[in-house]
Chains A and B, each alone.
Chain A
Amino acid sequence: MTQHILTRKDALLRIPFTAPFLPLAMEFADKGARGFSLGDRESGALTLAVEELFSFYMSRAARESSLEIALGDEGYRLSLSLSFHAANPDMRAFNLTWRVSHDSEDSLEMLGPMIAARSVSSLRLDFGDNDRVVIRLTMDRDYEPARNVPLPPSGGPGPMISEPSRDDVRHFAAMVNASGAPFIPHFLARPSMAADMLAAGRLHALLAVAGDWITGGVLWAHLTETCIEMYGPYLFRDDPDDNTLTMLLDEAVGRVSRTRARGLLRRQGPLAGYERFFDFLGELQMAGVDGQASRSVYYFRQLREESGGIVYCSPVLAAFLHQQYERLCLPRQVRESAGDRGLARDVSVLAVELDYSRSLAIIRPLCAGRDMAANLEGHLDLLESEGIANFLVEINTGRSEDTAFADALAQCGFAPRLLIPDAGQGDLVIYDHSRGNVRP
């Protein structure tokens, strides 16, 4: 057994993956979470997740596998990963649709992972070489919603660009809420979360400041390792010649251009004069909780000169990809492939991100399996019964586990609507469904 602190914000434990070490794993999760200042509720939930996952996968892991638990303090949230080796591990319970049957012992056993998946803020699965499985959990800290703050009066001097402090971003986030902006990401709805994300380097921002007033701002954060998402610009004053908007976008794009990211995405409402900054990817119609339809417009720009790529996918997806790559002048080779169904697992796993404020479910494949169409249908039915009005599926063209879903998606009535280049291991294809997503 080894245990060592990597930095002041990381802790790592490697132990045998056997029953006697369960208390140590739980103690590590609990004490680690508290050490990184999580409250009782969050620490308890994380410890419960570790207990359930440990208990379930202990007997399913490869015989010689150890378990590595890594905790990372990201400021606004704590991340925890469990890493072990297991051949074809059962991940069914991570599906939102998993229901426990009291008549089935197998089903009852799966209760553990289900509890774990429901008790944390997010869960992701990664599969590596040599049957390596990594279950990544995150637990957000609790934050207060925004309070009302005054907005700047109209007129006044032209703004200057300013790099904000943590307090500036907290105040700016409150102003965004006060301004009634139609698209407010969850971290801006909780200003202290935005401030903590900035302090942790997970969020970046530039503000327009005129005299004593913040008159606007733009923010950005990594969506994936290769793609940055931009939020805003949010402007609190009239901007007749788009001077403030152009100043903020020019500076922000200049700043992100030398990061490691390959692309910059903006997916809010329409942005007038976007052409100089972004490619237009498309738009999605969303049914709002109030019954009003809204448009989510996707803009994108590459940050590096294109280096080409090859996509393997089924013919049903290939036609859409050809059309999009041609429209965006992206040099990709699309190779039609039926995939290897023989290698697929029995059961597929889908992750669902729910955004109740937008009545939106974003479904992402975690594992392909022979039951993909049935699994998708099951998710649709469940989400619909929970009152969700918009369903999106994200397929990563660089992952065969994802592209394997193309036929099942078509069978279930999903249609590809737009493509985000370089947003994952490859490009990201966004599907929507005729059952939801109001049509134009």
Chain B
Amino acid sequence: MNLDAIVPEYVRCFDAYIPSKPDHLLMREYGAPFLHRLNNNENPLGPPPAAARAIAEFPPEAAAVYPSGDSFDLREALGRRMGVSPERILVGNGSCEVISSVIKAFCEPGDNIITADRTFAVYEWVAEFSGIQARLVPLRDYSFDPQGMLDCIDGRTKIIFLCNPNNPTGGWWDEGLLTDFLERAGEERIVVVDEAYREFVEDGAYPDAVALMDRFPNLISFRTFSKMYALAGLRAGYLTGTAGVVEMVRRTSIAYSVNILAQRAALAALADDADHIAATRALVRDGRAFLMTTCDALGLETVGREGNYLMIKVPINDMLMYRRLMKRGMMVRSMTGFRYPGWIRVTLKKIAVMEAFAEALSEEIRSIREGGRSA
């Protein structure tokens, strides 16, 4: 069969993302006695207690029944929480699914999207394997560059993706910067604000994109239960927009894609998140302070104002550092794929894990400076 004849070139040219192997295989391959995953920005506290109970008490017979095809109860609860109609919310199998739905709804080959060159890569990837041009604007001071993005707009620009706070740098726009950008970007295109890490931000100047939708009806917000709510394994993310925009996106979305357990756990998590958010924020604060102090002592530059992660500039190439740390049971995210060669990103976890990581990192840095394995 000649697949080349039937597969579009933009699919042929695209390389599928290869997820990491399961822990037991990685431990065996690297000879690591244990594995701390510090690569995916997961919350080590686990889901809020009510969500944990919902998961533990899930009746197996309920798995035989299709879930609500449009996450009805969850949208009702989210609508109450945000003060918007449930019709303005669309729940997906993680944020990645809603990214795909939005691009399908608004773009066709020949159109383009705009985002940053060093940000969550899925906006770029979905655009590329859909035949849509991704215009990538360099970050400025580790944050999205508003003027750079505005300069890239043309008549075929359909969506602008902002990641606020940005993964992996943690830089973010305040409300003034965001509203100014929205005014200048105009209503002829969609502006998506991905707020996957919004619950980690404690600064009052951080904007609420949903609250701005009355002024800017072309605005869409992405949020997720994967990060703060620690339900990454169940995959539930959602978008909020104005009714007309969401109605369009609904046409390109898959019904029934969010499983019943994810819906129940997310619903329970929402109802029991105050203490959980406070505890997680404290954990992240402590982890960041500890790791920044460690890196300062080692003479390593760090970047990361917000989010549950920190970028560290290492003295050897980041891919080698990844492998060296893997041998010590520490799985970080190498930043070459984010176009930050020479940097790693570390998820902030409990202090005991941070201490173990700091010890592993310190030993590697010492070994490198003494002319160890990399020389």
- Interface stretch of the complex, out of B15-23, B156-164, B247-255: B15-23
CB–CB B337/A308 < 8 A: no
Tell me the bound Cα distance from A304 to B317 in angstroms.
Answer: 12
Which B residues touch A257, using CB under 8 A?
A: 336-339, 341
Q: How far is the CB of B152 from chain A (nearest CB, A)?
A: 15
Tell me the bound Cα distance from A308 to B324 in angstroms.
Answer: 14
Tell me the bound Cα distance from A333 to B21 in angstroms.
Answer: 15
CB–CB A308/B375 < 8 A: no
Nearest to B323 among chain A residues (CB) is A329
* A236-260 at interface with B (beta carbon < 8 Å): 249-250, 253-255, 257-258, 260
Q: How far is the CB of A100 from chain B (nearest CB, A)?
A: 39
Which B residues touch A302, using CB under 8 A?
A: 319-320, 323, 336
CB–CB B324/A279 < 8 A: no
Q: How far is the CB of A263 from chain B (nearest CB, A)?
A: 9
* A302-327 at interface with B (beta carbon < 8 Å): 302-308, 327
CB–CB A253/B326 < 8 A: no
Query: For the complex, is B50 an interface residue (Cβ under 8 Å from A)?
Result: no
For A275, give its contact among B20, B25, B317, B337 (CB under 8 Å): B317
Which B residues touch A307, using CB under 8 A?
A: 18, 20-21
Nearest to B16 among chain A residues (CB) is A260
For A277, give its contact among B322, B338, B342 (CB under 8 Å): B342
* A273-323 at interface with B (beta carbon < 8 Å): 275-280, 301-308
Query: For the complex, is B340 an interface residue (Cβ under 8 Å from A)?
Result: yes
Tell me the bound Cα distance from A300 to B154 in angstroms.
Answer: 39
Knowing A275-B368, A279-B374, A305-B20, the reply to whether A329 touches B320 (Cβ < 8 A) is: yes
CB–CB A308/B29 < 8 A: yes
CB–CB B336/A253 < 8 A: yes
Q: How far is the CB of A51 from chain B (nearest CB, A)?
A: 28
Tell me the bound Cα distance from A255 to B326 in angstroms.
Answer: 25
CB–CB B336/A301 < 8 A: yes
Which A residues touch B15, using CB under 8 A?
A: 260
CB–CB B339/A279 < 8 A: no
Query: For the complex, is B288 an interface residue (Cβ under 8 Å from A)?
Result: no
Tell me the bound Cα distance from A394 to B352 in angstroms.
Answer: 47
Tell me the bound Cα distance from A330 to B121 in angstroms.
Answer: 26
For B375, give its contact among A255, A280, A330 (CB under 8 Å): A280
Contact digits for B334-375, partner A, Cβ 8 Å, 1 yes 0 no = 101111111000000000000000000000000010000111
Tell me the bound Cα distance from A258 to B335 in angstroms.
Answer: 11
Which A residues touch B317, using CB under 8 A?
A: 275-279, 301
Tell me the bound Cα distance from A253 to B336 in angstroms.
Answer: 8
Which B residues touch A301, using CB under 8 A?
A: 317, 319-320, 336, 341
Nearest to A299 among chain B residues (CB) is B317
Which A residues touch B316, using CB under 8 A?
A: 275-276, 279
Knowing A260-B15, A329-B326, A329-B327, the reply to whether A304 touches B374 (Cβ < 8 A) is: no
Nearest to A257 among chain B residues (CB) is B336
Nearest to B332 among chain A residues (CB) is A305
* B14-57 at interface with A (beta carbon < 8 Å): 15, 18, 20-21, 25-26, 29-31
Q: How far is the CB of A66 from chain B (nearest CB, A)?
A: 14
Which A residues touch B18, using CB under 8 A?
A: 304, 307
Which B residues touch A304, using CB under 8 A?
A: 18, 319, 337
Query: For the complex, is A413 an interface residue (Cβ under 8 Å from B)?
Result: no
Which A residues touch B340, using CB under 8 A?
A: 254
Which A residues touch B8, using CB under 8 A?
A: none
Q: How far is the CB of B39 from chain A (nearest CB, A)?
A: 9
Tell me the bound Cα distance from A328 to B373 in angstroms.
Answer: 7
CB–CB B336/A308 < 8 A: no
Which B residues touch A250, using CB under 8 A?
A: 341-342
Contact digits for A112-142, partner B, Cβ 8 Å, 1 yes 0 no = 0000000000000000000000000000000
Query: For the complex, is B69 an interface residue (Cβ under 8 Å from A)?
Result: no
Which A residues touch B244, using CB under 8 A?
A: none
Tell me the bound Cα distance from A301 to B320 in angstroms.
Answer: 8
Query: For the complex, is B315 an interface residue (Cβ under 8 Å from A)?
Result: yes
Q: How far is the CB of A254 from chain B (nearest CB, A)?
A: 4
Knowing A276-B342, A304-B18, the reply to whether A329 touches B121 (Cβ < 8 A) is: no
Query: For the complex, is A331 an interface residue (Cβ under 8 Å from B)?
Result: yes
Q: How far is the CB of B246 from chain A (nearest CB, A)?
A: 31
* B216-257 at interface with A (beta carbon < 8 Å): none
Knowing A279-B317, A280-B374, A331-B29, the reply to whether A306 touches B341 (Cβ < 8 A) is: no
Which B residues touch A279, using CB under 8 A?
A: 316-317, 319-320, 374
Q: How far is the CB of B33 from chain A (nearest CB, A)?
A: 14
Nearest to A275 among chain B residues (CB) is B316
Which A residues touch B341, using CB under 8 A?
A: 249-250, 253-254, 257, 276-277, 301
CB–CB B373/A329 < 8 A: yes
Which A residues touch B13, using CB under 8 A?
A: 260
CB–CB A327/B319 < 8 A: no
Q: Which of A328, A329, A330 has the most CB of B within 10 A?
A: A329
Tell me the bound Cα distance from A249 to B317 in angstroms.
Answer: 12
Knowing A254-B340, A258-B337, A331-B30, the reply to whether A306 touches B315 (Cβ < 8 A) is: no
Contact digits for B112-125, partner A, Cβ 8 Å, 1 yes 0 no = 00000100010010
For B336, give its contact among A249, A303, A329 (CB under 8 Å): A303
Nearest to A330 among chain B residues (CB) is B323
Tell me the bound Cα distance from A142 to B97 in angstroms.
Answer: 51
Q: Which of A249, A278, A279 has the most CB of B within 10 A?
A: A279
Which B residues touch A277, using CB under 8 A?
A: 317, 341-342
CB–CB A329/B337 < 8 A: no
Which B residues touch A260, using CB under 8 A?
A: 13, 15
Q: How far is the CB of A112 from chain B (nearest CB, A)?
A: 30
* B237-295 at interface with A (beta carbon < 8 Å): none
CB–CB B319/A258 < 8 A: no
Nearest to B333 among chain A residues (CB) is A305
Which B residues touch A254, using CB under 8 A?
A: 117, 336, 339-341
Tell me the bound Cα distance from A82 to B341 in angstroms.
Answer: 41
Nearest to A301 among chain B residues (CB) is B317
Which B residues touch A255, using CB under 8 A?
A: 339
Nearest to B317 among chain A residues (CB) is A301
Q: How far is the CB of A249 from chain B (nearest CB, A)?
A: 8
Tell me the bound Cα distance from A260 to B15 in angstroms.
Answer: 6
Tell me the bound Cα distance from A330 to B29 in angstroms.
Answer: 9
Knowing A257-B341, A275-B317, the reply to whether A305 touches B375 (Cβ < 8 A) is: no
Q: How far is the CB of A133 from chain B (nearest CB, A)?
A: 19
Knowing A279-B317, A303-B336, the reply to whether A308 touches B25 (Cβ < 8 A) is: yes
Nearest to A278 among chain B residues (CB) is B317
CB–CB B320/A258 < 8 A: no
Q: How far is the CB of A70 from chain B (nearest CB, A)?
A: 12
Q: Which of B13, B316, B322 has the most CB of A within 10 A?
A: B316
Q: How far is the CB of A161 from chain B (nearest CB, A)?
A: 10
Contact digits for B138-173, partner A, Cβ 8 Å, 1 yes 0 no = 000000000000000000000000000000000000
6 A-B contacts (beta carbon < 8 Å): A257-B339, A276-B314, A276-B342, A301-B317, A328-B320, A329-B326
For the A-B complex with A276-B316, A329-B373, A331-B26 known, give 14 more contacts whose Cβ atoms are closer than 8 Å. Answer: A250-B342, A254-B339, A260-B13, A275-B315, A275-B375, A276-B315, A277-B341, A280-B374, A301-B320, A302-B319, A302-B320, A307-B18, A327-B373, A329-B323
The 9 closest A-B pairs by CB, nearest first: A331-B29, A254-B339, A329-B323, A302-B319, A253-B341, A260-B15, A308-B29, A257-B336, A301-B317
